[in-house]
Structure 1
Amino acid sequence: MSEPRIHSGGTSQSLETLRTRAARLASALNADGIGPGDRVAVVMRNDIAFVEVTLAVGLVGAAPVPINWHWTGDDLAHALADSRSRLAVVHTDLLPAVESSAPGLPIIEAEIPPGVRCAYGLAEQPSTGRWPTLSQRIDDHEPRTEPSPAAPMSVIYTSGTTGRAKGVLRDPVAVADRPTLLANIAKLWHLAPAETTLIPAPLYHSAPNVHATFAVALGMNLHIMPRFDAEEFLRLVQEHRVNSVQMVPTMFNRLLQLPEQVRRSYDLSSLKAIVHAAAPCPRHVKEAMIGWLGPIVHEYYGGAEVGAFTACDTAEALSRPGTVGRPILDADVRIVGEDGTDKPVGEDGIVYGRCFTGWPDFTYIDDEPKRRQMERDGYLTLGDIGHLDDEGYLYLSDRLNDMVISGGVNIYPAEVEACLLDLEGVADVAVFGIPDPDLGEVLAAHIQPIPGAILHPAEIRTHVGSRLARYKVPREVVLADELPREDTGKLFKRRLKQQYLEAAGHNGDEGVA
Structure 2
Amino acid sequence: MPDFSGPVTLGHALAAQAEERPADVALRFGDRVTSYAEYDRHATQIANGLAALGFEKGDRIAYLGKNSDHAVELFLGTVRGGFVFVPVIWRLAPAEIEFITRDAGATVLFVEEGFESVPFEGRKIVMEREFANWRDAQSEDLVDTDVAVGDAMLQLYTSGTTGLPKGVVLSHANATSMRPILRASGLDWASADPGTSIILAMPYGHIAGVGLAGGAVLAGQQLIIHAEFDPAATIRDIRDHRVEYIFLVPAAIRIVLSHPDAATADFSSIKGLNYGASPIPLDLLKEGVERLKCDFAQMYGMTETYGTVVSLPPEDHKPGREKVMRSAGKALPGNEIRILDENLQPLPPGEIGEVAIKSPSNMIGYWNRPEETAKTLIGDGWLRTGDAGILDEDGYLYIQDRIKDMIISGGENVYPAEVESALFGHDDVADVAVIGVPDEKWGEAVKAIVVARPGCEPDADAIIAHARERIAAFKCPKSVEFVEALPRNPSGKILRRELRARYWEGQERGVN
TM-score range normalised by the length of the shorter chain: 0.7 to 0.9
**Cα 1:23/1:406, change in 2 over 3 Å:** same
User: How far 1:469 sits from its partner (Å)?
Assistant: 5.7
**2:138 match:** 141
**1:397 match:** 400
User: How far 1:171 sits from its partner (Å)?
Assistant: 3.6
Q: Specify which of 351, 357, 362 is matched with residue 355 of structure 2.
A: 351
Alignment pair present for 1:28 and 2:75: no
CA deviation map 1:344-374 (0-9, x unaligned): 222222211212x4x2532111222222222
Alignment pair present for 1:210 and 2:231: no
Q: Specify which of 27, 33, 37 is matched with residue 12 of structure 1.
A: 33
**Cα 1:314/1:438, change in 2 over 3 Å:** same
Residue 419 of structure 2 aligns to a residue whose secondary structure is: helix
Residue 223 of structure 1 aligns to a residue whose secondary structure is: strand
Residue 383 of structure 1 aligns to a residue whose secondary structure is: strand
**1:41 match:** 62
**1:170 match:** 170
Q: Specify which of 83, 91, 95 is matched with residue 116 of structure 2.
A: 95
Most deviating of 74-83 and 428-437: 428-437
Alignment pair present for 1:155 and 2:160: no
**1:265 match:** 264
**Cα 1:469/1:13, change in 2 over 3 Å:** closer
User: How far 1:476 sits from its partner (Å)?
Assistant: 4.8
**2:195 match:** 194
Do 1:249 and 1:489's aligned partners in 2 also have CA atoms closer than 8 Å?
Answer: no
Distance 1:346 1:181 in 2: 28
**Cα 1:312/1:482, change in 2 over 3 Å:** same
**Cα 1:188/1:32, change in 2 over 3 Å:** farther
Do 2:435 and 2:500's aligned partners in 1 also have CA atoms closer than 8 Å?
Answer: yes
**Cα 1:401/1:185, change in 2 over 3 Å:** farther
**Cα 1:41/1:453, change in 2 over 3 Å:** same
**1:310 match:** 310
Do 1:276 and 1:298's aligned partners in 2 also have CA atoms closer than 8 Å?
Answer: yes
User: How far 1:88 sits from its partner (Å)?
Assistant: 0.8
Do 2:182 and 2:333's aligned partners in 1 also have CA atoms closer than 8 Å?
Answer: no
In angstroms, what is the RMSD of aligned CA positions? 2.6
Do 1:279 and 1:488's aligned partners in 2 also have CA atoms closer than 8 Å?
Answer: no
Most deviating of 468-477 and 194-203: 468-477
CA deviation map 1:451-484 (0-9, x unaligned): 2222123333444456656654435522123323
CA deviation map 1:319-365 (0-9, x unaligned): 1230111111121111222344332222222211212x4x2532111
**Cα 1:137/1:461, change in 2 over 3 Å:** same
**1:370 match:** 372
Distance 1:200 1:38 in 2: 28
CA deviation map 1:418-444 (0-9, x unaligned): 332233321221111235577654333
**2:82 match:** 61
Distance 1:380 1:256 in 2: 36
Do 1:245 and 1:274's aligned partners in 2 also have CA atoms closer than 8 Å?
Answer: yes
1:448-467 alignment to 2 at 5 Å? 448-464=451-467
Do 2:156 and 2:303's aligned partners in 1 also have CA atoms closer than 8 Å?
Answer: yes
The residue identity in structure 1 corresponding to 2:458 is L
Do 2:199 and 2:223's aligned partners in 1 also have CA atoms closer than 8 Å?
Answer: yes
Distance 1:426 1:463 in 2: 11
Distance 1:375 1:25 in 2: 34
Most deviating of 473-482 and 150-159: 473-482
**Cα 1:68/1:224, change in 2 over 3 Å:** same
CA deviation map 1:86-144 (0-9, x unaligned): 211011210101xx2x3x22211212xxxxxxxxxxxxxxx5xxxxx223321322224
The residue identity in structure 1 corresponding to 2:53 is D
1:273-288 alignment to 2 at 5 Å? 273-288=272-287
CA deviation map 1:14-70 (0-9, x unaligned): 222222222222222111111211001100111111011111111221111000011
Alignment pair present for 1:492 and 2:510: no
Q: Where does structure 2 lack aligned partners over 5 or more consecutive residues?
A: 1-20
Distance 1:316 1:192 in 2: 22
Do 2:289 and 2:317's aligned partners in 1 also have CA atoms closer than 8 Å?
Answer: no
User: How far 1:239 sits from its partner (Å)?
Assistant: 0.7
User: How far 1:189 sits from its partner (Å)?
Assistant: 3.8
Do 1:190 and 1:273's aligned partners in 2 also have CA atoms closer than 8 Å?
Answer: no
Distance 2:298 2:305 in 1: 16
Residue 93 of structure 1 aligns to a residue whose secondary structure is: coil
Q: Specify which of 323, 326, 333 is matched with residue 322 of structure 1.
A: 326
Q: Where does structure 1 lack aligned partners over 5 or more consecutive residues?
A: 112-126, 128-132
Alignment pair present for 1:414 and 2:411: no
Do 1:190 and 1:244's aligned partners in 2 also have CA atoms closer than 8 Å?
Answer: no
Distance 1:377 1:49 in 2: 39
TM-score, normalization by structure 1: 0.85
Residue 95 of structure 1 aligns to a residue whose secondary structure is: coil
User: How far 1:180 sits from its partner (Å)?
Assistant: 4.3
Most deviating of 271-280 and 439-448: 439-448
**2:71 match:** 50
Distance 2:388 2:133 in 1: 51
Do 2:270 and 2:294's aligned partners in 1 also have CA atoms closer than 8 Å?
Answer: no
Distance 2:471 2:207 in 1: 36
Do 1:374 and 1:380's aligned partners in 2 also have CA atoms closer than 8 Å?
Answer: yes
Identity score, percent? 28
CA deviation map 1:184-233 (0-9, x unaligned): 47757432211111111111111221111231343321101112121221
**1:385 match:** 388
